[in-house]
Structure 1
Amino acid sequence: MAKSYYSTIFEQTADQVWDVIRDFGTYTWTGSVSESSIEGGKSGVEVGAIRNARLGDTSVFHRQRLLAHSDLDRFYTYEFCEPFPYPIRNCVVTLRVTPVVDGNRAFVQWSATFDCEPAEYDHWTTYFANEVWAKALGSLKHLLSHPA
């Protein structure tokens, strides 16, 4: 099983960061998602909710199912629905926000476990960390530092 991980520090509080990302249906903060919504009238904090997210101007939607959500612990866990948008299987992803007492900041970590061909472990673990999560959290930092 492959594991991918990325973390960063935000100058905002954990509550400020969580307020933006807590709703699983609101995913445009990543900067790469042009549209996102929850299927079937469920809320974006309801376990079992399925998010449809469209990347940029493509016509392809990625579907993801919310497996766990906690406002108390500021995290959610989700999985990719079939068909997977990547050549991986059994992908479970967690996004977590933790307070940093020193400076009243936030520590944000995004991680996943998944199966793929062993020869592709390095590619996909690096891809998710550097090409997906680092860029998405960079967009979130920009959004929080330059409110509309």
Structure 2
Amino acid sequence: MPRVVRSTIIDAPVERLWAVLRDFNGHESWHPIVAKSTIERGYPSDKIGCVRRFTMQDGAELREQLLALSDLEMAFSYCLLETPIPLFNYVAHVRLLPVTDGNRSFWHWEGRFTTPAGREAELAELVGNEVYSNGIAAVRQLPELAS
């Protein structure tokens, strides 16, 4: 079972970063691979169990479900329900922590999944780089995080 982890320090207060990331339907405003995101059934984006449907830049679609969200811990978890790539049993966790040295944020993004034998490294790299690293890089550029 591949485990993919990316973590970084963001030069913004943790409350500002959390305001961006806690929106389970906010990816289309910052992630470069997401063209459109909607929450099914009109549910609020912070309702545990809500499902977001992504249309990717390449036209592919996927669905993810919010499993947990904690404002106190500045953390959330989600799973993949449908995806065009063979990621099975995919569950991801995002957690923020304040870095008091400079009023910055520590961002930890982790996912685990199963996949067909022989594709573990390829798909771990895809998730780690195309999803996590590119997402982190895009968030760094958001004007609302500028000091």
Using the size of structure 1 for normalisation, the TM-score is 0.90
Q: Which residue number corresponds to residue 123 of structure 2?
A: 124
Q: Which residue number corresponds to residue 43 of structure 2?
A: 42
Q: Which residue number corresponds to residue 7 of structure 1?
A: 7
Using the size of structure 2 for normalisation, the TM-score is 0.91
SS of structure 1 residue aligned to 2:26: coil
Answer whether contact 2:39 2:51 (CA < 8 A) is retained. Answer: yes
Q: Which residue number corresponds to residue 70 of structure 1?
A: 70
CA distance in 2, matches of 1:104, 1:27: 24
Write the mapping of 1:15-54 to structure 2, written as runs, cut at 5 A: 15-28=15-28, 29-54=30-55
Structure 1 moving runs of 4+ over 6 Å: none
SS of structure 2 residue aligned to 1:138: helix
Cα RMSD (Å) = 1.6
SS of structure 2 residue aligned to 1:30: coil
Answer whether contact 1:5 1:125 (CA < 8 A) is retained. Answer: no
Aligned residues: 145
Unaligned runs of 5+ in 2: none
Q: CA deviation at 1:146?
A: 7.6
Answer whether contact 1:24 1:66 (CA < 8 A) is retained. Answer: yes
CA distance in 2, matches of 1:8, 1:146: 15
Unaligned runs of 5+ in 1: none
